[in-house]
Amino acid sequence: MGIKNDAGTVSAIPYAILTLVIFGLTLVAFGAVIDELVSVDTSFAEASRPNAPGAVVTGPTYVPAAVTPSGPVVVWGSQDYGACDVPPVLIATKVAMGDDHGLAIREGGSVVAWGDYEYGDCGVVPPSIRAKDLAVGDYHSLVLKTDGTVYGTGEYSEVGSAPPGMEGTVFTQIATSDSMNAGVTPGGTVIVWDKEWAGTPSDFPGSVKQVALDRYSGEYAILLNDGTVSFFDNKYGVPGGITAKKVAGGEHFFVILKSDGSVAVYHHSSYDDNYGVTNVPHDLVATDIAAGDGHVVALRPDGTVVCWGANWGGQCIVPAGLRAISVAAGTDTTAVIAVPGTEPGPDWTPAPGDGGNP
């Protein structure tokens, strides 16, 4: 048995590992927030200036050094359990959202959390930890530390940690679903794990850029460095020949940011598209994407944000005048790192949704 990619090529995998993967997919509901910071044209934002953070003096001209852009964190959508209660004046380089909680990486690499603490979702990340990426499930959170190892907290505390028997494993990128994690090693191996087992369902040495998980089924998509997208089992009808820059997993669907900037959404063949996530806005060109349970978020090159799909919590109502650097999505929330000066004022209240059932 093996994994078939969109070109029809099958990569063999051990049957025992495949059995474990199928067991996990069958009995465990999954959810994932997979986000990768994508730089956008922020020329409309504040120009480089003397003494600006990261500025390099080169005679009379100041050239910004290569640093990760930061800005205010803005979250809107369902206001249950404090998911939208971002700490005041939070400036961050990365944000990720779960079911009722969020995490962000501050400038300097420390991590802050807010929202529901019932399951330990927002368990305190030790202040000594410095992070470079986040992956947040419905009820647990995973932090990719600057040394490439992982730290986790939440209901599935064992899930939010290193793969069992593989402590100290270094990753270049991580992903979560409801009760499972996945990561890419520097050598190009994809590892999937929960609190009891770890497996390597696919191995593309030196070629894997990203892994993304379906938030519900836990099926995964693998983005190779050449832009090819491969699946454990392509039940989403993704055609061959696509080259992509990023993949995001929703509930029963995957969003693909193609190499030309266009966006496509492919829905699982066994489920109806009840929220219209496949109705991508006409002629949309994007630099970043994210997926919630039933909605999609895209960032245009000019920094404007567009959302479509489910709107029961108001997650698709973008604040007026907002410009963003990167986007993220939770179950029924949308979050961005905003271009400084375009975030809503202190009296802003997120718009209510349409009241539909999740």
For residue range 5-33, list pLDDT tens digits in order.
444 433 333 323 333 333 333 223 333 33
Which residue type sits at 330? G
Assign 205 a pLDDT band (cuts: 50, 70, 90): low
Predicted confidence (pLDDT) per residue in 98-127, tens digit: 888 899 999 999 999 998 766 545 567 889
- pLDDT, one tens digit per residue, over 307-322 is 999 999 999 999 999 9
- List the chain domain ranges: 2-47+67-338
The reply to whether the predicted model has a pTM over 0.85 is no
Scanning the structure block, which residue is given the tokens 């003397």? 50
Q: Which fold has domain 2-47+67-338?
A: Methylamine Dehydrogenase; Chain H (2.130.10)
Distance of alpha carbon 164 from alpha carbon 144, whole angstroms: 16
Residue with tokens 């193609």: 258
Long-range contacts of 301-304 (CB under 8 A, 24+ apart): 301/40, 301/41, 301/261, 302/41, 302/44, 303/40, 303/41, 303/42, 303/44, 303/45, 303/339, 303/342
Task: Decide: 55 and 87 in contact? Cβ < 8 Å.
Answer: no
pLDDT reported for residue 252: 92
Mean pLDDT confidence for 265-276: 92
- The pLDDT confidence band at residue 332, using thresholds 50, 70 and 90, is very high
